[in-house]
Structure 1
């Protein structure tokens, strides 16, 4: 039996649970697809590659912040991507200690095979939702995140 939330706190808690469940299901399906297309990649590696497809040239700290991992974990993942010739580190001209991460040609080429099925999973998740519903949901989650500080 499902208990209906009675107040704003319980509704917010239920929203958090629903978002966690959706992320978990997407992660499971992405992991299953990765094993079909490229068993050498993990979900975490793909997460960083996907981020760089959208924002190539950001630094390790920015990557860590966006994927919600500590910098040492991201360093380990980036080292793994460098060994696979999927990304490269480039010194920042203003701060040599700060390395920016760029996709290599091989890393960009992965997009051709991986990105279409990732987008298909998100299309499946969207189902019959309209663009406005999704934009409203994004706005709602961003406001709640801002409320947390």
Structure 2
């Protein structure tokens, strides 16, 4: 059996494909869990709520950039979250056109329900990996992201 030799760019491509496949599988499992616990939510809505759990008060442009969605998609998703009473738009004091997005109390409460089972899925994904392996992989991916910026 011949051992195939890969260039750095080919290995980086394989890594990108593997990360994309992992995200796709996690997305499917997370959506299945969402359907069990809160069928009114979607993965996209939960992605924004999860982002706000970590960065409450960021603006729509930042949210769009982080979740890789265009302005109209983000507006639609945030409108949906506002209608459900999960987030609110607050005008920035320096620039009233710039709206910051904050979780409501109801949005913050979702964390108590959703976060434990989301962590279970990521623990399943981590399997028998060590903390050091995960830290090294995280460092590697963040470095590659920095290289693209």
Unpaired runs of 5+ in structure 2? none
- Alpha-carbon shift at residue 148 of structure 1 (Å): 2.2
Aligned pairs for 1:94-105 within 5 A: 94-105=94-105
Tell me the residue number matched to 2:56. 56
Unpaired runs of 5+ in structure 1? none
TM-score between the two structures when normalised by the length of structure 1: 0.94
Deviations 1:29-63 (A, max 9, x none): 00100000000000000000000111111110111
> 1:93, 1:123 → 2: CA distance?
41
Q: 1:81 to 1:31 in 2, by over 3 A?
A: same
- Alpha-carbon shift at residue 146 of structure 1 (Å): 2.0
> 1:9, 1:55 → 2: CA distance?
33
Tell me the residue number matched to 1:17. 17
Tell me the residue number matched to 2:131. 131
Contact 1:5 1:14 in 2 (8 A): no
Tell me the residue number matched to 1:67. 67
Q: What is the DSSP-based 3-state SS (H/G/I as helix, E as strand, rest coil) of the residue aligned with 1:58? A: coil
Aligned pairs for 1:1-149 within 5 A: 4-149=4-149
Aligned length: 147
TM-score between the two structures when normalised by the length of structure 2: 0.94
